[in-house]
Amino acid sequence: MKKALIDRMYDRVATHGHVCLGLDTDYSYLPHNFAKDFSSPAEAVYEFNRKIIDSTLDVVACYKVQIAYYEAMGLEGMACYAKTLKYLREKGAIIIADIKRGDIAKTAEMYAQAHFTSDFEADFITLNPFMGMDTLSPYMPYFRDNDKGAFVLVATSNPGASDIEGLECKGSSVSEHVGSMVSKLSEEFTGECGYTAIGAVVGCTNREQTVKIRENLANLFFLIPGYGAQGGKAEDIADYLKGGNGGVVNSSRGVLLAYKKPEFAHLSFYDAARAECERMRDDILSHCK
């Protein structure tokens, strides 16, 4: 019998480390000598993604594909997005579609159908709950019946997060209140690993909050942005993990542009991406010990 999605994610972290490779691929990130050989930016981005995937599949836990970068290229970009997701599925990778949807009722039903089936199918999606918990309701049948999951925005890594997330709400912060509701809502989707298919997005740029967040959200698997370019460090991540597991750590530009780093200048862009994933993986693992 096939393991539940959240258990497969847990196992991938145990065997491959914590890296979530963000395919937030802008055409400007591509090496000129590579990009010039293609007839369109979208075609070049897809081939860039494909080479990155082939080079890193055995050293990352999962891939996060940010839809905005593909929407910006129009129809060809959305075809590139679909092709990238299809290629990841063919490779057996775990996919997080970073779509940050946050609507209700029939609109959310259509988002669920779009991103859990058809050309845009992913394993997990990101959701914005700040219109209320009914923003999550239309996705529940897919969590329950189709082995899908989500990461819900709880404590993000951007500088303005405190503008709303930090406000007091019924004796706790908005972030704590949202996290508590998500934790309770997710209980029926708990896997054998003890984590739920509905996880939380929690940034690693505010270390004084990490212990409290993990204590309060013990059953939630974390998608952790903020490492590298946003200032988060491996030691900031360790407190989010239990026994070295319970979360994946996203890096996008740090991996996609690794070929520009002096220490990787002798490597192809895809070998440099692999080397950066290995460096990041080992950095995080060293602090988990």
Give the Cα separation of 4 and 27 in Å (integer): 35
- Cβ-count burial 78-113 (b if 16+ within 10 Å, e if not): bbbbbbbbeebeeeebbbbbbbbbbbeeeebeebbe
Give the Cα separation of 216 and 214 in Å (integer): 5
Q: Identify the bridge partners of residue 245 per DSSP, sorted by sequence position.
A: 242
Is residue 184 annotated as part of the catalytic site, yes or no? no
Which of 2, 3, 83, 100 is catalytic? The answer is 100
Residue holding tokens 């780093």?
261
Residue holding tokens 């930016």?
41
What residues are labeled active site? 100
